[in-house]
Structure 1
Amino acid sequence: MEELSIGSLFMSEENPYTPPVNQVEDPPIQSAVPSSHNYATLGARFLGRLIDVLIMIPLGLVIGSGYALVSPPKFIAVEKASDLFSMGATGYGYGEALLLVVLSMAAYIGIQWTFWASTGQSIGKKVMKTQVVNLDGSQASAKTIALKRFAIMNLIGNVPVAGSLVSLIGVLLIFRRDRNCLHDDIAKTRVVKFAASSQ
């Protein structure tokens, strides 16, 4: 049987006067992995989207004007309010209106593609220092952003009446805890503060 010394009962090998060492890490504010610490703010998302819309408006005007020169619209009288929602007032049918939407979307995607592919940022997101990432924090591909986030919702948004309602609901979803809009849910992406490590 081992003998116990009085000193060994009362003294440990560690110095009792050594200050404790905490293993506390800072919250991942600049991490690309989505968490409540690094979600893009509502203001940053709004301003980023506004910048992108301001890019898209002139594109649509140029494409619409060019198409009108090639195929002038036949303006017709609006007999009832529903004519305004069925694009009857412009003289273009659904086919031509859809063609104009697709051409405008293609031009917009062409302008933004390089930005999306390099950092997952549109021009507006680059200005506001936000980016689109997958739910695991990896950078979203340009294809995911173009097709799942942008094209699907824009096509839905151009459906008379119902499209506007879906678009409004889709945007209002941003007030949920995860700050995702409908297009984020469809693409399984999230908008976060820009983190260079996610490139």
Structure 2
Amino acid sequence: MPPPPPPYGSPYGGGYGGADPLSGMPPLAETGRRVLARLIDWVIVAVPLAIIGIPFDIYHRATQNGNGFDNTVNSLNGGSQLVFQLITIVAYVAYDTVLTAKDGRTIGKRLMKLRVAMLNDGSTPPMSQSLLRAVVLWLPALICCACLWPLLILILIVVDKPYKQGLHDKAAKTVVVTVPQ
């Protein structure tokens, strides 16, 4: 005799034995196209930030001799590095949030013919879910884990079954799908 169904439904839609939330949606995006779209988005935000960083003197501080920890502490004490860090966080999170909430596509996703969709019904994520997705994606990478966080997200996208979700997708209950040609 099979075990009884759990007393709750899936947090991603469709209860136990329910319909697949992806039925009727375009196919999930290929990992390579997702990575390329993210790199395009990163460059689109990074280039203006690199120019904005000049008055904050971030390049001079980065090339100073001495202990890296001391330089970081001195930079933060000076305040301009902290201000630039906040500008960077706001820029990446706002870019991702606003464009995802608009039509599910950042510029990178548009070029790669991808879009973000709510897992339960395929709709464009509302502003709240787009913000949550962007914060989980960018905040750890920009504050402490610039190399490890993107790698962790990539690994999760590759191994996650069946929806290819990174932590940011799981938090916001979204998937990335291809846009029909």
Q: Same fold (TM over 0.5)?
A: yes
Alignment of 1:15-94 (within 5 A): 34=22, 38-68=27-57, 73=61, 76-79=64-67, 83=68, 86=69, 88=71, 91-93=74-76
Partner letter of residue 129 of structure 2? T
Q: Which whole-Å CA distance do the structure 1 matches of 2:70 and 2:135 have between them?
A: 21
Query: What is the Cα deviation at residue 158 of structure 1?
Result: 3.0
Code of the aligned partner of 2:115? Q
- The answer to whether the 8 Å contact 2:40/2:108 transfers is yes
User: How far apart are the structure 2 equivalents of 1:175 and 1:155?
Assistant: 21
TM-score normalised by structure 2 residue count:
0.68
Aligned to 2:149: 166
Identity over the aligned pairs, expressed in percent?
27
**Any conservation in 2 of the 1:87–1:93 contact (CA below 8 Å)?**
no
Q: Secondary structure at the match of 1:192?
A: strand
| CA distance in 1: counterparts of 2:170 and 2:70, whole angstroms | 30
The CA distance in 2 between the partners of 1:195 and 1:34, in whole Å, is 15
Q: Which has the larger radius of gyration?
A: 1
Answering whether residue 85 of structure 2 is matched by residue 101 of structure 1, we say yes
8 Å contact from structure 1 (residues 129, 193) kept in 2: yes
**Residue aligning to 1:125:** 109
| Structure 1 residue 78 displacement after superposition | 2.5
**Aligned equivalent of 2:165:** 180
* SS of match in other structure, 2:117: strand
User: Aligned pairs, how many?
Assistant: 155
Query: Alpha-carbon deviation of 1:165?
Result: 2.5
Could you tell me which amino acid in structure 1 is paired with residue 169 of structure 2? D
Counterpart code for 1:51? I
Instruction: Give yes or no for contact 2:28–2:177 (8 Å, CA) kept in 1.
Output: yes
In structure 1, runs of 5+ residues without a counterpart are 1-32
TM-score for both structures, normalised by structure 1:
0.63
Task: Measure the CA separation in 2 of the matches of 1:87 and 1:179.
Answer: 41
Q: Which residue of 2 aligns with 1:139?
A: 124
CA shift, 1:129, in A, is 1.2
1:105 partner SS: helix
Aligned letter for 2:155?
L
- 1:190: how far off? 0.8
**Stretch deviating more after TM superposition (120-129 or 101-110):** 101-110
CA RMSD of superposed structures (Å): 3.3
TM-superposed CA distance for 1:98, in Å, is 4.2
Instruction: Quickly say closer, same or farther: Cα 1:163–1:34, change in 2 above 3 A.
Output: same
CA offsets 1:76-110 (integer angstroms, 9 cap, x no match): 5323xxx3xx4826952286444323212333455
State the alpha-carbon separation in 2 of the partners of residues 114 and 144 from structure 1: 11
